[in-house]
């Protein structure tokens, strides 16, 4: 099951209250998005301490500059993009990300609750392995679009590319997955992402 947060009109109300200095609204923003941010950050870095530090810095900066913040179209997209920016500023993370080493440790973690049967665990591992063989930017676009539930427009904003580039990157990622996965596993992957 994806960790995405389904936006509601109340989210923007909480954002406005946070901007006015309401500490409870700020805490609610944190509680609502922390698991999503940790999951996304771990897929980028694989280093929990780096991710937690970046999230802490992000929320400290949000609090300090709350009066100047404009209401985002998507709070989830705004926070993901801000976290990505913070992580990319970390030289170690940026170097790993830009190298796009194809033989990466398994960083894609599909929640087991998606699978209905115990026998599908092997298929899950094969899908994870296939995704981990993608270049990091393709892993990120798959994660954002299918596992975090972001729209292609939000993916483009988070990754700092235009809409067409995000679409092309997503298309290339799916084409690479087709090469890595035999047809039965590709159908399972498509079924999984279609249920999100």
Output the CA–CA distances (angstroms, integers) from residue 112 to 1, 39, 79, 124, in the order listed.
Answer: 8, 15, 26, 8
Domain C-terminal end among 45, 69, 94: 94
Which residue has 């665990």 as its token pair? 121
Rg (CA), the chain: 17
- Do 113 and 149 lie in one domain? The reply is yes
pLDDT given at position 6? 47
Q: Which residues of the chain have pLDDT under 50?
A: 1-7, 101-119, 196
Q: State the Cα–Cα distance between residues 107 and 126, nearest whole angstrom.
A: 13
Looking at 94, 122, 145, the residue that finishes a domain is: 94
137 and 156, same structural domain? Answer: yes
Both 116 and 165 in one domain: the answer is yes
Domain that holds residue 156: 102-194
CA distances from 51 to 76, 87, 118 (A): 17, 7, 31
pLDDT (tens digit per residue) in 31-85: 999 999 988 888 888 888 888 999 999 999 999 998 888 888 888 889 998 998 8
Q: Is residue 189 part of a domain?
A: yes
pLDDT value, residue 49: 87
119 in any annotated domain: yes
3-class SS of residue 94:
helix
Q: Which residues in 115-127 are b (16+ Cβ under 10 Å) and which e? A: eeeeeeeebbebb
CA torsion sign for 73, 164, 6, 55 is negative
Q: What is the largest CA-CA distance in the chain?
A: 53
**Helices (H), ranges, the chain:** 9-19, 23-45, 48-64, 75-89, 91-99, 121-132, 136-142, 152-159, 163-180, 183-194
Do both 89 and 116 map to the same domain? no
90 part of a folded domain: yes
DSSP string, 158-171: HHT--HHHHHHHHH
Residue 153 sits in the same domain as residue 176: yes
What pLDDT is attached to residue 8? 55
The count of domains in the chain is 2
Examine the domain organization and report whether 145 and 172 are in the same domain: yes
């Amino acid at each position: 099951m994806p960790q995405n947060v389904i936006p509601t009109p109340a989210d923007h109300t909480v954002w406005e209250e946070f901007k006015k200095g309401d500490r409870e609204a700020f805490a609610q923003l944190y509680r609502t998005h922390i698991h999503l941010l940790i999951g996304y950050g771990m897929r980028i870095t694989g280093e929990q301490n780096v991710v937690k530090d970046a999230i802490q810095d992000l929320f400290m900066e949000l609090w300090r500059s709350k009066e100047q913040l404009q209401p985002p179209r998507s709070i989830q997209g705004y926070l993901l993009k801000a976290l990505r920016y913070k992580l990319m500023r970390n030289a170690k993370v940026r170097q790993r990300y830009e190298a796009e080493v194809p033989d990466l440790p398994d960083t894609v973690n599909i929640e087991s609750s998606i699978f209905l049967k115990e026998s599908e665990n092997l298929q899950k591992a094969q899908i994870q392995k296939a995704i981990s063989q993608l270049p990091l930017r393709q892993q990120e676009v798959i994660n954002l679009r299918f596992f975090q539930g972001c729209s292609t427009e939000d993916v483009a904003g988070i990754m700092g590319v235009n809409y067409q580039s995000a679409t092309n990157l997503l298309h290339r990622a799916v084409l690479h997955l087709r090469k890595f996965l035999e047809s039965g596993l590709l159908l399972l992957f498509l079924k999984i992402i279609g249920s999100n």
